Amino acid sequence: MTSRTPDRPLVTRRTVLSGTGGVLLCAAGAGAKGRPGVAAPPPAAAVAAGDAPLVPSTQFAEAFAKVVGTGTPIEGRMTIELPEDAENGNIVPYKIAVESPMTDADHITQVHLLSTQNPQAAVATFHFTPLSGKAAVSGRMRLARTQEVVAVALTSANSLLIARTMVHVGIGGCGTE
């Protein structure tokens, strides 16, 4: 058992600084991994501070265009709940709910869950019928890094609803290279 003496503290300024430097080097090395010619994303702290805007990935743009087509999604009637800060991107809980009478004449047919920064932007698609009773789902998803998560719902009248939220991710969960 180690005892602490006044002339030799357990934690010194040197151990704190060297530990911090090691963490920063590891983070820089992890952020530098990537495909050739593709810049590493800015650290979450920079994004959180507003230093660098998040630009949706090409995969997100393609997935969003495939879901929306030529339509214009309307905000409202739909909510998406995710934690504002996710310590671990491997297990980020979400809840999506859409206000709808869920009748034969007026119901939600699909809800698409999309991520703006994951390697695969289309996370999930949920199908509903009037027999579903309500248009609501919950689960867990992986997030590669800090990003906006978007949900798009399609109604039986072919109108589109949209909801979005920003999630700050501490440790990425998609195993990106």
Q: What is the pLDDT of residue 172?
A: 73
User: Of 133 and 49, which is predicted with more confidence?
Assistant: 133
pLDDT band at 171 (very low <50, low <70, confident <90, very high): confident
Distance CA 49, CA 52 (A): 8
Residue 75, in any domain of the structure: yes
Residue 177, in any domain of the structure: no
Residue 81, in any domain of the structure: yes
pLDDT band at 21 (very low <50, low <70, confident <90, very high): very low
Residue 32, in any domain of the structure: no
For 102, list phi and psi in degrees, rounded to 5: 55, 45
What type of residue is 76? Answer: G
Residue 6, in any domain of the structure: no
For strands 160-171 and 85-88, give the pairing. parallel
Residue 117, in any domain of the structure: yes
Indicate which CATH number applies to the domain containing 105. 2.60.40.2470
Number of domains in the chain: 1
Query: What is the chain's mean pLDDT, rounded?
Result: 79
Residue 139, in any domain of the structure: yes
Helix (H, G, I), strand (E, B) or coil at 99: coil
What type of residue is 165? Answer: T
- Give residue 97's domain range: 56-171
* Closest listed residue to residue 137, CA positions, set 160, 113, 169: 113
Distances (CA, A) of 77 to 101, 116, 136: 11, 22, 12
